[in-house]
Amino acid sequence: MLIIRTIAELDSYVDSLKANNRSIGLVPTMGALHAGHLSLVQRAVADNDDVIVSLFVNPVQFNNPDDLATYPRKEEDDFRMLAEAGVVAVFAPSVEEIFPDGPENTDRKQFDLGSVAEVMEGAMRPGHFQGVAYIVDRLFRLCRPKRAYFGEKDFQQIAVISRMVETEHLDVEIIPCPIKRADDGLALSSRNALLTPEQRSIAPEIHKALADSVAYSRDHSVRATHDSVVERLDAIPGLKVEYFEIVDARTLLPVEEWEESPRIQGCITVYCGKVRLIDNISYRP
Ligand code: PAF
């Protein structure tokens, strides 16, 4: 497996693929890979001539320095998993390679991300989506992919990146991929590695509450459904809901009635101890 560390190496690798008219699939990641990432890789391998997986813990999308410091990093394990999955090229640059003047001294372009970036994660994590847009835009321009793959666990991230692709006129198809879950329902996430065994045992309650609320929603209002989820999770010692929003899946704006939109999604963030877990569910697919 080719491990590419510099932009210059990446550029000549991509040039060689383009010279041979190869279609490129990109799977952007921050490493600490799990089966969810591998499902994106498998899909990318099936759809494209060549696949580049990027591994980069992007400092400018973290609004909390502790979160950046504790974010799991397992590069050797990641390389092994990707080689076993048949990946040919990994782009794993250093922070200095991407930000030669340092992340804080880099004058970053600001993107027009629209209202989808202002709610939920955007409201709770100021600057987060500008940081995501910055790195994804750079990865797109460097890797020149035909398609890029993102997991639906980060439901809002997909909406924000799709908006960026539109406003920047980038010729990349965004492919959303279904959430991968552990057998007990917990959405796979790199952050799950930070859970203590006790926290890991209560974390699946998040998905259980969401899944049960779909049946509940059939004969209850949006407000009652919302409150049933928040009350159930907040009653579990060790869990604290940061936000739960029932939204139009396209605009990400809150709905008050089930009839308001043909596609309705419930998006939640829950603190399990200090670990911030996100998940979502479809009420009206
Ligand atoms: O979803 C992630 O892991 C990150 O936000 C991404 C898209 C790789 C950008 O750093």
Q: Specify the pLDDT at position 93.
A: 98
Looking at ligand 1, which atom is closest to the CA of residue 56?
Answer: 10
When pLDDT is averaged across residues 185-199 and rounded to a whole number, the result is 97
Q: How far is CA 240 from the centre of its chain?
A: 21
Q: Specify the pLDDT at position 41.
A: 98
When pLDDT is averaged across residues 255-279 and rounded to a whole number, the result is 98
Task: Please state, in angstroms and rounded to a whole number, the distance separating the CA atoms of residues 148 and 28.
Answer: 8
Amino acid identity, position 80: R
Q: How far apart are the CA of 158 and the centre of ligand 1, in A?
A: 10
Q: Specify the pLDDT at position 170.
A: 98
Catalytic residue among 34, 37, 128, 220: 37
Check pocket membership of 78 for ligand 1, CB cut-off 6 A: no
Q: Specify the pLDDT at position 4.
A: 98
Ligand 1, atom 6: closest residue by C-alpha: 29
Amino acid identity, position 186: L
Per-chain mean pLDDT for the chain = 97
Ligand 1, atom 1: closest residue by C-alpha: 29
Residue 217 main-chain phi, psi, to 5 deg: -65, -20
Q: How confident is the model at residue 284 (pLDDT cuts 50, 70, 90)?
A: confident
pLDDT in tens, 31-88: 999 999 999 999 999 999 999 999 999 999 999 999 999 999 999 999 999 999 999 9
> Is 37 a catalytic site residue?
yes
Q: Specify the pLDDT at position 227.
A: 98
Based on the number of CB atoms within 10 Å of its own CB, is 14 exposed (0-12), middle (13-18) or buried (19 or more)? buried
Q: How confident is the model at residue 114 (pLDDT cuts 50, 70, 90)?
A: very high
Check pocket membership of 136 for ligand 1, CB cut-off 6 A: yes
Share of the chain above pLDDT 90, in %: 99
Q: Specify the pLDDT at position 285.
A: 77
Q: Specify the pLDDT at position 183.
A: 98
Q: How far apart are the CA of 53 and the centre of ligand 1, in A?
A: 11
Q: How far apart are the CA of 136 and the centre of ligand 1, in A?
A: 8
Check pocket membership of 154 for ligand 1, CB cut-off 6 A: yes
pLDDT in tens, 210-264: 999 999 999 999 999 999 999 999 999 999 999 999 999 999 999 999 999 999 9
Q: How confident is the model at residue 145 (pLDDT cuts 50, 70, 90)?
A: very high
Q: Specify the pLDDT at position 229.
A: 99
Q: Specify the pLDDT at position 260.
A: 97
